[in-house]
Amino acid sequence: MTARRFAYAERAFPTQQHEFGVMTFPRAILAAALLVLVTACNNSTPKADMPATTTTATTTAGKTDWLSVTTATPDGGFRIGNPDAKVKLLEFASLTCPHCREFHEEAMATLKAKYIASGNVSYEYRNFVLNGPDFAASMLARCQGAEPFFGLLNAFYTDQLTWVEPFTKMSEADSKRLAALPQDQQIAALAQVGKLDEYVRTRGIPRAKFDACLADKAQSAQIEKLRTEAVEKYKLTGTPGFIINGQTQEAVFTWAQLEPRLQAALQ
């Protein structure tokens, strides 16, 4: 696939839908995005300072505050809550997916207060990247570590319509300029055209860390692995996709559909 084809695909990304029986972001285009990030990495690339991968639970009057417990999991996700919870909820989602944003708006306050805080449910988020802007945003959120990840996740969903908009307005001139760049510069340049560097700067990610995050070879490989796992292992057919205690929840995309499944699993 040519660089020009990749740049065009990035401009077309807003047409995505939450179901991907026929992929709205084709594997070939995803591969091109991954190649850009992989070739941008080398052993001399500085790494962003990484916070601790696990936060320690705080206790009040002998009661554990499970909302304060976050960790990067061995499988490449980020988890909040009791690691030994009876019910383990896993979500695969895209930062640019409107349905994923709607789920988080509807679900997270209740999920945290009613289920995670009790220690009965843990929640893990794994990125399912659908397009270039999504890839860049996911890289930036993931490289900050477990505790900052959830704050950034909330920000990316809350502000989705704002930070995505510049990508939808890319000009033909911008597309041609990106296509003419060496592949190892395209993702970072795409993020700059979309003003993603400006957005994350106000959330504690300076330019040096922005550049380092987008050039992290390990994270780009992990994101590729997560997408493959979502499709091949869990047989997901849309985003957001949910797994409860290792079992894929078919045709569940909303909080209204998911909550009864959680309650049943808690019985």
CB atoms near residue 151 (< 10 Å) = 14
Q: Indicate the average pLDDT of the chain.
A: 81
**Which domains does the chain show, CATH number per domain?**
3-266 (3.40.30.10)
DSSP state, residue 238: B
Question: Quick one: what percent of the chain has pLDDT higher than 70?
Answer: 76
User: CB of 92 within 8 A of CB of 11?
Assistant: no
List the single range of 27-41, 162-176, 252-266 with lowest mean pLDDT. Answer: 27-41
CA distance 133 to 41: 18
- The yes-or-no verdict on residue 13 having pLDDT over 50 is no
- The yes-or-no verdict on residue 19 having pLDDT over 50 is no
Tokens of 28: 């070939």
- The yes-or-no verdict on residue 40 having pLDDT over 50 is no
User: 8-17, 30-39, 87-96: which has the highest mean pLDDT?
Assistant: 87-96
What is the H or E stretch that residue 53 is in? none
Region of residue 180 (left: phi > 0; alpha: psi -120 to 50; beta: else): alpha
Please, which pLDDT band fits residue 220 given cuts at 50, 70 and 90?
confident
State the Cα angle at 159 between 153 and 165, rounded to 5°: 120
Predicted confidence at residue 264, as pLDDT, reads 97
Q: Nearest-CA neighbor of 126 among 173, 88, 159, 170?
A: 88
Please, which pLDDT band fits residue 225 given cuts at 50, 70 and 90?
very high
DSSP state, residue 245: T
Give the side-chain half-sphere CA count within 13 A for 172: 0
Residue type, 229: E
Predicted confidence at residue 37, as pLDDT, reads 32
Q: Please compute the mean of the pLDDT values over residues 208-228 and round it to a whole number.
A: 92
Stronger pLDDT, 180 or 122, i.e. the higher one: 122
Q: Please compute the mean of the pLDDT values over residues 3-28 and round it to a whole number.
A: 35
Please, which pLDDT band fits residue 88 given cuts at 50, 70 and 90?
very high
| Per-residue pLDDT reduced to its tens digit, 184-209 | 677 788 898 999 999 999 999 999 99
Please, which pLDDT band fits residue 263 given cuts at 50, 70 and 90?
very high
- The yes-or-no verdict on residue 140 having pLDDT over 90 is yes
Predicted confidence at residue 158, as pLDDT, reads 97
Predicted confidence at residue 8, as pLDDT, reads 28
Q: Please compute the mean of the pLDDT values over residues 152-156 and round it to a whole number.
A: 97
Which residues 6+ apart lie within 8 Å of 234 measured at CB? 92, 241, 243, 248
This model's pTM is above 0.95: no
Chain-centroid distance, C-alpha 77? 9
